[in-house]
Amino acid sequence: MPDGTIRTSFRDSEIETYIYSDVNLFSNIGVVDNNRSVVSGYFFFDYEQVLRTRSVASKYVDVNKLENLGINIPYERFMITNVEISGDGGDIVGSVSESLYEEQKYPYVTYIQFDNEEVNESYAYYKTPHANASYAAEIANTFFYGSESSESSTDDGNLGFVTSVLNRSYTYAPNTAFNIEDYRLMLFEILEYRQVANYDYGIDISILDNTAKVITDLLAKVREMLDSLGDYVDLVNEACAFNNSLNAFNRYFIDNLLEDFSNVNETPWHQAPILYVLCNDLLYDSYGGDRDTIESAAKNIIINISPATGTKEGIDQFYSDMQDIANDLVLIELDILATQGIDPVTIRFLKPNVDVPNSQEKIFSATSTSDVEVQATKTTTKFINAWPRGFGYSLNSVDLYGDGADNWLAELDIEAIVSIRFGASTSSTTTETPSDVSPDYTENDGRKGRYTLDSDLLYEYDLDEGYFIIYDLGYWEIEYY
């Protein structure tokens, strides 16, 4: 394990709860002999919960309060860098390019790597072929990921799907189910072409956590405010600034101070109390995160330290309180340095057992999204070297399904046509090498189709109407179920 990485254990069941999956979110479609298959499915990653409960910042401050007060942790402070899907077929890795972290305020996968020793080397690595951010964003919003050799998004689409894992946008309904506005629940899609049909997945998500910067940024802001407040303290302690008899600052002193500020809200006696009460609540839960209580506490401090209404003792006491806040933030910074360092760390979230259903053999028609489950397909062949002659027969055609002289297909129990191969007759006993002539189109889940060869109709069929007419002699091979 490299330095700077926090490895979460498989035995930590709490970690697993951040990755949500269900066997019903996956399909596993058998191919050929049902030993190979195509798996597709989805899982969710609870980025919002992870940020608020597992980040470095969440160990020291209440991230819920930060977000509720409008102090948002930007995505570049807590970035997904890697999503790895492990299984018997190899590891599918979706990675996010580091060069896009600052440009993109959300994650998307910029390249795919599929590690499988049995896969030919030229097919082992997939990525979007262009490095520029606009193209990568375009690809991320399509259904396609191309190979290294593709030249454009159009080529990617023509090449079709590849084994991949990538995040998808979606709309949750009802969107009022979360108490947190714009809840960040991420959806990832898995697609895998398997050499072995049945096995489950393990999921490993890596996040580059730089939320320690939230603490150091806060400390820097407090120190900056202490400098301004210190200058104010020096001024109020000058001779003749405060009238002890009236227990108030002299008018000329107040007027001179205000000349240095165009807006009273920019003065240290306004800004410092606001920062102080926010830090007080984040570090000690002094106000329970209640906005009204926080606002009221800040107003009381402003009254106590403002030159118009405050006193020297009140200002000196607040300056001391502000130094205490800075000292506590320094202790937190030192603890971060001692435990993991101030540099970003990688946190991994694991889910070892993601159920995938066993492979099922299914047939999809070319024009329909409906599917028909079957146990197996069958193949029938016949060499037809002469046209039937006699009354009622058309010249140079024959119906293989109807009541003609050769009703070869009518004798079979055919529910749908899957594929057709044909070799044209060269003599009474031989044919050309058969080739695939599956229908140009199908309808009704494989029960109706036709094929045109060199502008001439080769065959047409409609099983519901009871005909399968061929227009050429030769070897015919029909796969059906």
Residue written as token pair 């690595």: 125
Residue 477: count other Cβ atoms within 10 Å of its Cβ.
16
Rg (CA), the chain: 36
Question: Which ranges constitute the DSSP H helices of 306-419?
Answer: 312-339
- What's residue 98's pLDDT? 54
Q: Exposed, middle or buried, 436 (CB in 10 Å: 0-12/13-18/19+)?
A: exposed
State how far the Cα of 63 lies from the Cα of 81, in Å rounded to an integer.
22
- What's residue 329's pLDDT? 92
Residue written as token pair 């494989």: 446
The pLDDT tens digits along the chain (481 residues) read: 223 333 333 333 344 579 999 888 888 887 655 567 788 899 999 999 999 989 999 988 889 888 887 788 888 889 888 888 888 767 777 766 555 445 556 666 666 666 655 443 333 333 443 444 454 454 444 444 444 455 554 554 455 456 778 788 777 766 666 677 778 888 888 888 777 768 889 999 999 999 999 899 999 999 999 999 999 898 888 867 888 777 888 888 888 888 888 788 889 999 999 999 999 998 888 998 888 999 999 999 999 999 889 888 999 999 999 999 999 999 999 998 888 888 888 888 888 888 998 887 554 333 333 333 434 578 888 888 777 665 445 567 888 876 554 678 888 888 888 888 888 876 666 667 788 888 776 666 778 888 888 888 888 988 888 888 888 888 888 888 7
Contacts of 376 (CB under 8 A, 6+ apart): 361, 481
Token readout for 388 is: 């039937």
Q: How do beta strands 78-86 and 201-209 pair? A: antiparallel
- What's residue 280's pLDDT? 92
State how far the Cα of 71 lies from the Cα of 63, in Å rounded to an integer.
9
Residue 92 identity (one-letter amino acid): I
CA dihedral 99, 100, 101, 105 (to 10 degrees): 170
- What's residue 115's pLDDT? 63
In degrees and rounded to multiples of 5, residue 183 shows phi and psi of -60, 130
124 closest CA partner among 223, 33, 195, 229 = 195
Q: Exposed, middle or buried, 434 (CB in 10 Å: 0-12/13-18/19+)?
A: middle
- What's residue 259's pLDDT? 83
Residue written as token pair 């997945």: 201
- What's residue 44's pLDDT? 92
- What's residue 68's pLDDT? 81
Asked if 237 contacts 230 with a C-beta cutoff of 8 angstroms, the reply is no
CA dihedral 306, 310, 312, 317 (to 10 degrees): -80
Angle at 371 between CA 365 and CA 374, to 5 degrees: 100
Domain boundaries defined on the chain? 5-210+344-358, 214-339, 365-480
- What's residue 321's pLDDT? 95
- What's residue 101's pLDDT? 47
* Whole-structure pTM value: 0.63
- What's residue 3's pLDDT? 34
